[in-house]
Structures are given as C-alpha cells and as structure tokens.
C-alpha cells in the first residue's frame, strides 16, 4: 500500500494513496466467532446448512468492516490539509476565470454601447447638418423668390406705359416673366428701363420672339437626341441573344407572370443585358416562330397520308383518333390535360413553362404544339360533321 506522506508530498502520490484505500477490501475472514461447528453435524445436509449460516454471519461482519474502513478513508480525505489546499486553489482558479470572463463580457458590452453611442451621435450630427443645410437652402429659395418677385415688379413698372391699355401686351409680359430666370429677367428689366416709351412694345415683342425661338431650338435638339437614342436601341436590337440570355428570359417570365405590375421592366432587370422593349420583342418573335413551327408540324403531307389509289380525304376525317405528331403517350396526354386545368391562360407566356414542368420528358414548345394540334383536329372534325349534317 502507498504511504501517507507528508505536507510536501506531490498531489499525484496523495491521490494514489487515497485511490488505493478507496479500492481496499478487508482480508479478514471472521471465522473465530462462528455460531455453528460443522464438525458436529449429524449429516451432510446439516453440515451444509451450518456452513451457509456461518458464511452469512461472516459476510455481514465483513461488510461492516469495509464500511468502517471506507468511513475512515473518507474522513481522512475530507480533512487532509493537502487536499483542502488543492481544493481551495482550484476554487480560486475557477473564481478567477469566472471574473475574467465577466470582465471580458462587460468590456465587450461597454465597447458595443460606446459604438452605438458614437453611431447615434454621428447620425444626430448628420441629421443636424441636413436640417441646417435644408434651412439654408429654404432661406436661399425664399430669398430668390423675393428677389424674383421684385424683379418682376420692376419689369411690370418699366413696361406699364405700354401695357396699361393693352391686354395682349400685359399677357405677353406675364408670359415673359414666367419663362425667364432671375438673371435674364433682371437684364430684361434693365433693358426696359433704358428703353424709350415708344419702343417698349417693340422690346417686349422682341423678347417674346427670342423666347419662342429658343424653345423651338430646344425642342429640335431633344427630338434629335431621341432619334439618336432610337438608332442606338435599333443597333442593340440587332445583337443576337445568347443561350444564357434566353435562359434568363425564360426564368424571368416564369417569375413574373402576366398581370404583374411593371412586368417587362422587372423582366429586363432580371435579364440585366437587355431592356424592356428588347425582352418584349424577343417574346413576341418567339411566339411567332413557335406558332409557325406548330402550324408546320400539324400540316400532314398529302402524299404521306394518302393510300395509293385512294381518293383524297380531309385531314379531320383521315382517321378516327386525333393526330400525335409530338409522340405523346397516354400518361403524358393525361398529365398534359391535368396541367392545362391547373395552369390557366391568365399566366401568359409562363403558362407553357409551368405546363411542361408537370409533363415528363416534354418541353414547353411540344406541350403548346400538342395543344394546338388537338384544337385544330377537333375544330376540323366539328366542321366536317356540320357539313355532313347539311348534306
């Protein structure tokens, strides 16, 4: 068994000492105070009974002995000054770690609070600057308005000898005052003030003519700019669509179905490389091409369907069942019919994309072509039946 050691013994040796005693089992047999003597038994069964009784008493005594030793070891372990010192050290370390953690948390909270206060202060300063700027701008606008009113009054007073008896010139003068800016109006006022009374009407009409000429030139310039923009757009429309752009357009049409507000602007924003007009033109051209393709597929050549030597017949009465140019199986046909019920025509261009998602191994063009093929077939069949009834 390990030795108890002294105050300088390492903790590993102390732990080894107590571990050995906690696992210790007494080797005492407790056979001295046996109640029965097996040698005095009359038979084998009585001997075995005596041995069992003696073993039971010995087992109880041994358990009591082990409990006594365990209690002594626990008492020593609890009051050992070396272990007390270690427990206090561990407790101190835990408390220190806890305090450090708390300190770090408080510092982090203070940093967050300081950052929030700085952000709030910065926001308030910016708002104050904006308010001050808005106030200054408002004062400047009010100042310009007052100055503009004074200048207009100068113009009216300078032109009064001519406009006092003429409604036409008065209206013309007001139009001039509303059209000109402060500097131009100030120049016009100075011109009128330096003009003789008999020439005031001429000066007013001359200024009005100048304003009209400038407006006409501005309008022509804007029209030219619009023309340049249209030519640029026309050049951009000539650029072919890439496969990636077509894929993005298809996704955008599914994401923004018919009826969506500002649909084509949103589609163009989703595609990124095309504008709204180009996206709309592409969809319309795709519709036209798809319709032509479907019409070509639904027209069955007369030579391929006519039996040799047989008379020519109408497509609608060529066979009992509808045509199947797109090779739709019964399962695919049923899926198509169910999808048409779930996806109404109000979805617009995205309808056939959604229908194709519900029909396995078929594209949107094939689903649309099959639908138009059936519509054409039943329409022709109905017309043929009506003609037969009339005969």
pLDDT in tens, 86-111: 999 999 999 999 999 999 999 999 99
183 and 255 assigned to the same domain? no
156 and 224 assigned to the same domain? yes
Average pLDDT of the chain to the nearest whole number: 83
Q: Has residue 112 been placed in a domain?
A: no
Q: Has residue 107 been placed in a domain?
A: no
Q: How many domains does the chain fold into? A: 3
Give the Cα separation of 141 and 227 in Å (integer): 36
Angle in degrees, 0-180, between the axes of helices 351-358 and 243-255, rounded to the nearest 10: 90
Q: Has residue 18 been placed in a domain?
A: yes
382 and 256 assigned to the same domain? yes
pLDDT, one tens digit per residue, over 157-201 is 888 887 767 778 888 888 888 888 889 888 988 998 888 888 888
248 and 367 assigned to the same domain? yes
Pair of tokens at residue 72: 């002594």
Q: How far is CA 227 from CA 39, 214, 218, 221, in A?
A: 133, 20, 14, 10
Q: Which of 234, 261, 286 is the last residue of a domain?
A: 234
The pLDDT of residue 228? 65
The pLDDT of residue 294? 54
- Give the percent of the chain with pLDDT over 90: 25
- Spatial contact of 236 and 276, defined as CB atoms under 8 Å apart: no
Pair of tokens at residue 380: 């022709």
As a whole number, mean pLDDT of residues 251-263 equals 78
215 and 254 assigned to the same domain? no
64 and 206 assigned to the same domain? no
Q: Which residues contact 197 (CB under 8 A, 6 or more apart)?
A: 161, 162
41 and 133 assigned to the same domain? no
173 and 218 assigned to the same domain? yes
225 and 243 assigned to the same domain? no
Give the Cα separation of 264 and 283 in Å (integer): 11
248 and 283 assigned to the same domain? yes
As a whole number, mean pLDDT of residues 43-70 equals 89
pLDDT, one tens digit per residue, over 209-230 is 998 888 888 878 887 777 666 5
284 and 380 assigned to the same domain? yes
Q: Has residue 295 been placed in a domain?
A: yes
- Residue range of the domain that includes 345: 239-390
As a whole number, mean pLDDT of residues 314-331 equals 69
pLDDT, one tens digit per residue, over 264-311 is 888 888 888 888 888 888 888 877 666 666 555 555 444 444 433 443
As a whole number, mean pLDDT of residues 56-82 equals 90
Q: Does 49 or 221 have the greater pLDDT score?
A: 49
User: What DSSP state is assigned to residue 24?
Assistant: -
Whether the per-residue pLDDT at 386 is higher than 50: the answer is yes
Q: Which of 176, 202, 234 is the last residue of a domain?
A: 234
Counted residue by residue, the chain has a size of 391
């Amino acid at each position: 068994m390990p030795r108890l050691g002294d105050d300088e013994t390492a903790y590993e040796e102390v732990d080894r000492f107590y571990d050995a005693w906690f696992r210790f089992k007494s080797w005492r047999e407790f056979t001295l105070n046996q109640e029965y003597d097996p040698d005095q038994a009359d038979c084998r069964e009585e001997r075995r009974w005596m041995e069992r009784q003696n073993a039971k008493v010995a087992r109880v005594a041994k358990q009591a002995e082990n409990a006594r030793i365990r209690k002594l070891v626990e008492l020593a372990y609890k009051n050992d000054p070396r272990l007390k010192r270690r427990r206090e050290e561990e407790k101190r370390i835990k408390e220190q770690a806890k305090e450090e953690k708390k300190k770090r948390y408080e510092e982090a909270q203070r940093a967050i609070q300081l950052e929030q206060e700085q952000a709030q202060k910065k926001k308030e300063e910016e708002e104050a600057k904006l308010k001050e700027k808005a106030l200054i701008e408002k004062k400047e606008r009010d100042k310009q308005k007052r100055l503009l009113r004074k200048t207009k009054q100068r113009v009216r007073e300078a032109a009064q000898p001519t406009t006092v008896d003429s409604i036409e010139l008065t209206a013309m003068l007001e139009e001039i005052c509303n059209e000109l800016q402060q500097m131009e109006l100030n120049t016009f006022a100075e011109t009128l003030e330096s003009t003789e009374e008999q020439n005031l009407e001429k000066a007013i009409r001359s200024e009005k003519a100048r304003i009209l000429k400038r407006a006409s030139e501005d309008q022509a310039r804007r029209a030219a700019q619009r023309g340049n923009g249209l030519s640029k757009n026309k050049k951009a429309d000539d650029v072919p669509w890439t496969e990636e752009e077509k894929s993005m357009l298809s996704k955008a049409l599914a994401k923004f179905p018919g009826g969506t507000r500002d649909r084509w602007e949103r589609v163009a924003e989703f595609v990124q490389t095309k504008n709204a007009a180009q996206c709309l033109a592409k969809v319309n051209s795709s519709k036209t091409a798809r319709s032509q393709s479907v019409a070509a597929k639904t027209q069955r050549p007369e030579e391929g369907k006519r039996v040799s030597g047989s008379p020519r017949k109408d497509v609608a009465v060529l066979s009992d069942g509808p045509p199947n140019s797109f090779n739709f199986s019964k399962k695919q046909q049923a899926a198509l019919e169910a999808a048409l019920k779930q996806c109404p025509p109000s979805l617009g261009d995205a309808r056939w994309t959604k229908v194709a998602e519900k029909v396995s191994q078929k594209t949107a063009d094939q689903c649309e072509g099959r639908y138009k093929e059936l519509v054409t077939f039943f329409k022709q069949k109905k017309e043929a039946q009506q003609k037969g009834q009339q005969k």
